[in-house]
Structure 1
Amino acid sequence: MSFPHEKDLKITPASGASEDVAVGHTDPIKAGENDYEIFKIGEGQVDFRTVSWIRASAIFTKLLFATGILSIPSVMYDLGAFPGAVNLVGWSAINAYGALTLGKFRNAHPQCHSVADMALVTGGPIFREIVGFMFIISYVITAASGIIGVSAAFNALSLHSMCTVHFSLIATVTIAIFASVRKFSHVGWLTWVGFASILVAIFIIVIGVTTLDRPAAAPPTGDFDLGFHAIGSPTFAAGITAAATIFVSSSASSAFIPVISEMRKPKDYPKAVYASMGFVAASYLAFSLVIYRWCGKWIASPALGSAGDTLKRVSYGIALPGLIISGSLYVHVAAKYLFVRMLRNSRHLQANTPTHWGTWLGCTVSMSAIAFVLSCAIPIFTYVLALVGSLCFAPLSISLPGWLWLWSHGNYRRGWGVRQTIIWGLHVVQVLLGLFMMVGGTYGVIVQILGAYNSGRIDKVFSCADNSGSV
Structure 2
Amino acid sequence: MSSTGTMRGTPKRPQSNLSSQFNDSPSNIPRPKLESAISESGGHSTLSASRAKQSKRDEAIRSKIEKDLNKKRSGANRHRQTRKAPPGTVAALKPNQALQIKPNTTVTDAAQLMAAKREDCVLVTDDDERIAGIFTAKDLAFRVVGNGLKSNSVTIAEIMTKNPLCAKTDTSATDALDLMVRKGFRHLPVMDENHDIAGILDITKCFYDAMEKLERAYSSSKKLYDALEGVQAELGSSQPQQIIQYVEAVRSRMSGPTLESVLNGLPPTTVSVRTSVKEAAQLMKENHTTAVLVQDQGQITGIFTSKDVVLRVIAAGLDPNNCSVIRVMTPHPDFAPLDMSIQQALRKMHDGHYLNLPVMNKESDEIVGMVDVLKLTYATLDQINGMSTGDGEGPAWNKFWMSMNDGDTESMMSGEGSSHAAPHTPEQTRSTMMSPDHSARPGMDRLGSVVPDDSASHNGVPDMDEHSALGGATGQISDTPFTFKFKAPAGRVHRLQIVASQGLAELINVVAEKLGGEVEGIGGMPTFEDGKLSHSGFALSYMDNEGDTVSLTTDADLLEAITLARQAHKEKVDLFVHDPEKPAIPPTLDPQPLGNPPTPPESSLRQRKRYEEDESEDEEMSRVTERRRSRKEQPKQQEQAIPGVPNEMLLPGALVVLGAVVWYILLLALKGRDMEDDINKSSLDDGYKPSVADSTANGHANMASDDVEKHTFPGEDDETQRRGSKYDKGDPFGDEEGAEVKYRTLEWWQAALIMIAETISLGILSLPSVLATIGLVAGIILIVGLGLVATYTGYTISQFKAAYPHVHNMADVGEVMMGPFGREAFGAAQTIFLIFIMGSHLLTFTIAMNAITSHATCTIVWGIVGLVIFIVLTIPRTLRKVSYLSIASFISIVAAIMITMIGVGIQEPDPVVQATTSVPFASAFGATTNIIFAFAGHVAFFSFISELKNPNEFPKALVALQISDTTLYIIVAIVVYRFAGPDVASPALGSTTSVVMKVAYGIALPTILIAGIIYAHVAAKYIYVRLFRGTPHMSKRTWLSLGTWLGIVILLWVIAWIIAESIPVFNNLLGIISALFASWFTYGLSGVLWLFINWGGWFKNMKKSALTVLNLLIFGAGAAICGIGLYASGKSIHDSSGTGESWSCADNSA
Give the TM-score of the pair, scaled to structure 1.
0.89
Name the residue aligned to 2:1144: 463
Within 5 Å, give how 1:277-292 maps onto structure 2: 277-292=962-977
Displacement of 1:420: 2.8
What SS is found at the alignment partner of 1:411? coil
Name the residue aligned to 2:988: 303
Name the residue aligned to 2:1024: 339
Within 5 Å, give how 1:386-425 maps onto structure 2: 386-413=1071-1098, 415-425=1099-1109
CA contact (8 A) 2:909 2:981 kept: no
Displacement of 1:16: 7.3
Displacement of 1:123: 2.1
CA contact (8 A) 1:11 1:111 kept: no
* Amino acid in structure 1 at the alignment position of 2:1148: N
What SS is found at the alignment partner of 2:947? coil
Name the residue aligned to 1:253: 938
In the aligned structure 2, how far is the partner of 1:180 from the partner of 1:12? Answer: 37
CA contact (8 A) 2:720 2:726 kept: no
* Amino acid in structure 2 at the alignment position of 1:464: C
Q: Which of the two has higher C-alpha Rg? A: 2
Name the residue aligned to 2:1118: 434
* Amino acid in structure 2 at the alignment position of 1:347: P
Name the residue aligned to 1:383: 1068
Name the residue aligned to 1:26: none
CA contact (8 A) 1:399 1:431 kept: yes
Name the residue aligned to 1:363: 1048
Name the residue aligned to 1:20: none
Distance change in 2, residues 1:14/1:163 (3 Å): farther
Name the residue aligned to 2:823: 128
Deviations 1:261-303 (A, max 9, x none): 1111111111101001111111101111111111121211111
Name the residue aligned to 1:162: 857
In the aligned structure 2, how far is the partner of 1:162 from the partner of 1:255? Answer: 35
* Structure 1, unaligned runs of 5 or more: 18-28, 216-225
Distance change in 2, residues 1:112/1:42 (3 Å): same
Which has a greater percent of helix? 1
Displacement of 1:194: 1.2
Q: Aligned pair count?
A: 442
CA contact (8 A) 1:81 1:231 kept: yes
CA contact (8 A) 1:13 1:36 kept: no
Name the residue aligned to 1:55: 750
In the aligned structure 2, how far is the partner of 1:16 from the partner of 1:55? Answer: 21
Deviations 1:382-421 (A, max 9, x none): 22222111101111111111111101112333x3344432
Match of 2:813 among 112, 118, 134: 118
Name the residue aligned to 1:327: 1012
- Comparing 341-350 and 196-205, the one that deviates more: 341-350
Name the residue aligned to 2:919: 234
Deviations 1:29-79 (A, max 9, x none): 387896632223212442111110010000000010110111111222111
* Amino acid in structure 1 at the alignment position of 2:731: E
* Amino acid in structure 1 at the alignment position of 2:1124: G
* Amino acid in structure 2 at the alignment position of 1:37: D
Within 5 Å, give how 1:185-264 maps onto structure 2: 185-213=880-908, 226-264=911-949
Higher relative contact order (CA 8 A, sep 6+): 1
In the aligned structure 1, how far is the partner of 2:1081 from the partner of 2:799? Answer: 15
Displacement of 1:213: 2.0
Distance change in 2, residues 1:133/1:93 (3 Å): same
In the aligned structure 1, how far is the partner of 2:943 from the partner of 2:745? Answer: 13
Deviations 1:176-229 (A, max 9, x none): 1111221100000001101111110111111111111256xxxxxxxxxx5421
Name the residue aligned to 1:79: 774
Deviations 1:55-105 (A, max 9, x none): 000000001011011111122211111111111111111111111111121
Name the residue aligned to 2:845: 150
* Amino acid in structure 1 at the alignment position of 2:981: G
Distance change in 2, residues 1:32/1:449 (3 Å): same
In the aligned structure 2, how far is the partner of 1:146 from the partner of 1:168? Answer: 10
Distance change in 2, residues 1:164/1:364 (3 Å): same
In the aligned structure 2, how far is the partner of 1:192 from the partner of 1:12? Answer: 39
In the aligned structure 1, how far is the partner of 2:718 from the partner of 2:773? Answer: 53
Displacement of 1:15: 7.9
Name the residue aligned to 2:792: 97
Displacement of 1:5: 11
In the aligned structure 1, how far is the partner of 2:896 from the partner of 2:1136? Answer: 28
In the aligned structure 1, how far is the partner of 2:933 from the partner of 2:852? Answer: 28
Name the residue aligned to 1:36: 730
Displacement of 1:325: 0.9
Name the residue aligned to 2:1133: 449
* Amino acid in structure 2 at the alignment position of 1:416: K
Deviations 1:93-145 (A, max 9, x none): 11111111111211221110012212211222212222111111111111111
Distance change in 2, residues 1:212/1:260 (3 Å): same
In the aligned structure 2, how far is the partner of 1:346 from the partner of 1:387? Answer: 37
In the aligned structure 2, how far is the partner of 1:169 from the partner of 1:12? Answer: 51
Corresponding position: 1:141 with 2:836: yes
What SS is found at the alignment partner of 2:743? coil
In the aligned structure 2, how far is the partner of 1:125 from the partner of 1:197? Answer: 42
Within 5 Å, give how 1:16-31 maps onto structure 2: 29=723
Deviations 1:335-367 (A, max 9, x none): 111111111122211111122112111111111
Same amino acid, percent of matched pairs: 29
Give the TM-score of the pair, scaled to structure 2.
0.37
Match of 1:68 among 739, 745, 763: 763
In the aligned structure 2, how far is the partner of 1:38 from the partner of 1:11? Answer: 14
What SS is found at the alignment partner of 1:70? coil
- Comparing 261-270 and 53-62, the one that deviates more: 261-270
CA contact (8 A) 2:849 2:862 kept: yes
* Amino acid in structure 2 at the alignment position of 1:405: W
Displacement of 1:427: 1.0
What SS is found at the alignment partner of 2:1017? helix
Displacement of 1:13: 6.4
Displacement of 1:243: 0.8
* Amino acid in structure 2 at the alignment position of 1:174: I
- Comparing 241-250 and 231-240, the one that deviates more: 231-240
* Structure 2, unaligned runs of 5 or more: 1-686, 690-709
Name the residue aligned to 2:476: none
